[in-house]
Amino acid sequence: MPRLVDHEVRRRQITAAVRQVIVSGGLEAVTFQTVAAEAGISVRLVQYYFGTKKDFLLATHRSVMEDAGARFLQRWTALGPDASPRETIRAVLTELLPLDDQRREETFVLGAFGWAAIVDRGITAEETFAAPRALVAIVADQLRRLQRTAPSNPELDAQLIGMAIGGLAQGMLQGFSSPAAAVELVDHLLDRLLGADTPG
Amino acid sequence: MPRLVDHEVRRRQITAAVRQVIVSGGLEAVTFQTVAAEAGISVRLVQYYFGTKKDFLLATHRSVMEDAGARFLQRWTALGPDASPRETIRAVLTELLPLDDQRREETFVLGAFGWAAIVDRGITAEETFAAPRALVAIVADQLRRLQRTAPSNPELDAQLIGMAIGGLAQGMLQGFSSPAAAVELVDHLLDRLLGADTPG
């Protein structure tokens, strides 16, 4: 079905352009005109795929989570079935931090959406909750696999990890934490919550 | 020296107006005109006290930290000299979270500055580092008082706490964490890093 494939490619082209516009000028720079110009297509074509600005903003937000999700899956596959919960959590967390250009773009775009939700522009807060909820659910699942943390509370531990990673990602965007310091902090966080001697 | 006092009062009036403009319209709404209108004074008078927009933005950023610092001091005094490190850290952290209108305004203003630093508008990243640095220093000092954490690393633990509180504050602004859930997470964070049975 080449037609469907074309649709998907075109939508990706547009959401990629939205990201670029956000990175260059912030969420407030995003309009049908700037996105069309960035994508090198007509405004009419953007409108054909996305009826409203809100539609392509939400699709862009989803595309960032899909990209991160696809990378998790690759990392998971590479780790193999015997990966410890700690190895798995570490892989997920480091995939979320702005440690290279692509992840930096993603963190920036998610941060722009988060701030837009706070100032009530372009996206509602509820729409930005999918990413942190997914992270907390994945981490909590892994923590439940650790018998030794049974006396603790995997759900609350997972929320702690989620909020720490959110704060760290923002701090890295601001330049408060270097990539090396950030990775050290992730390892320290896992040491403190899972125990320094946890395998993996 | 009534003249000096007047100066200080006037500067506070102006930075309070800057905060209000930020809360209503974001940092991008801040101009000499909007600040003067909000303060109910002339643009010329704002210019007399602050030569540039950057000057009053930095003064506003400082005023938020001074207010939070004054509240820490009150809490410390109220806790008395026998307060445990855990009690002290808990007081500091809860003073930083948007748990009431004033702290919500402060968190919002600091968040706006943080995001402005990321998108490179109005303030540099370095200028926003004073608040997280002060927090990490205070927490690390208290952690060093805890003999039992000697095998751990007070500096890294303090950085973990700082990044977790940053992420939590942002999550509260977005409505991801309720005030009650946030306080539960702070207590869980302290349980996990200081031990659930630490006095205080």
Ordered DSSP codes for B136-191: HHHHHHHHHT-GGGTTS-HHHHHHHHHHHHHHHHHHHHHTSS-HHHHHHHHHHHHH
Please give the model's pTM, rounded to 2 decimal places.
Answer: 0.89
Q: DSSP letter string over A124-150? A: -GGGG-HHHHHHHHHHHHHHHH-GGGT
Position B200 scores a pLDDT of 46
Position B148 scores a pLDDT of 60
Q: CB B200: neighbour CB atoms within 10 A?
A: 14
- Contact state of A174 with B125 under an 8 Å Cβ cutoff: yes
* Residue B23 touches partner A, C-beta closer than 8 Å: no
Position B184 scores a pLDDT of 96
User: Which among A132, A188, A193 has CB closest to B153?
Assistant: A188
List all residues of chain A from 115 to 134 with a beta carbon under 8 Å from chain B: 115, 117-119, 125-126, 128-129, 132
E strands in chain B: none
Q: Which residues of B touch A193 (CB under 8 A)?
A: 192
Nearest-angstrom CA–CA distance, A72 and B40: 54
Contact B84, A141 (CB under 8 A): no
Position B3 scores a pLDDT of 63
CA B27 from chain center: how many Å? Answer: 17
Is residue A89 scored above 80 in pLDDT? yes
Position A5 scores a pLDDT of 59
- Quick one: tokens of A11? 């939508």
Least confident of A74-83, A96-105, A160-169: A74-83
- Contact state of B166 with A162 under an 8 Å Cβ cutoff: no
Position B97 scores a pLDDT of 95
Q: Which residues of A touch B160 (CB under 8 A)?
A: 164, 185, 188-189, 192
Mean per-residue pLDDT of chain A: 89
Is residue A200 scored above 60 in pLDDT? no
Position A131 scores a pLDDT of 86
Query: In tens digits, what is the pLDDT along chain B, a chain of 200 residues?
Result: 456 658 889 999 999 999 999 999 888 899 999 999 999 999 999 999 999 999 999 999 999 999 998 998 899 899 998 899 999 999 999 999 999 999 999 999 999 999 888 887 778 888 888 888 989 999 999 999 886 655 578 999 999 999 999 999 999 999 999 999 999 999 999 999 987 655 54
Residue A150, judged by CB atoms within 10 A of its CB (0-12, 13-18, 19+), counts as: exposed
Position B91 scores a pLDDT of 94
Q: Which residues of A touch B125 (CB under 8 A)?
A: 174-176
- Contact state of B118 with A174 under an 8 Å Cβ cutoff: yes
Q: Which residues of A touch B152 (CB under 8 A)?
A: 192
Q: Could you tell me which residue, A153 or A197, shows the higher pLDDT?
A: A153
The interface predicted TM-score of the complex, written ipTM, equals 0.88
Position A187 scores a pLDDT of 96
Contact A176, B125 (CB under 8 A): yes
List all residues of chain A from 136 to 175 with a beta carbon under 8 Å from chain B: 152-153, 156-157, 159-160, 162-168, 170-171, 173-175
Which one-letter DSSP state was computed for residue A178? -
List all residues of chain B from 66 to 95 with a beta carbon under 8 Å from chain A: none
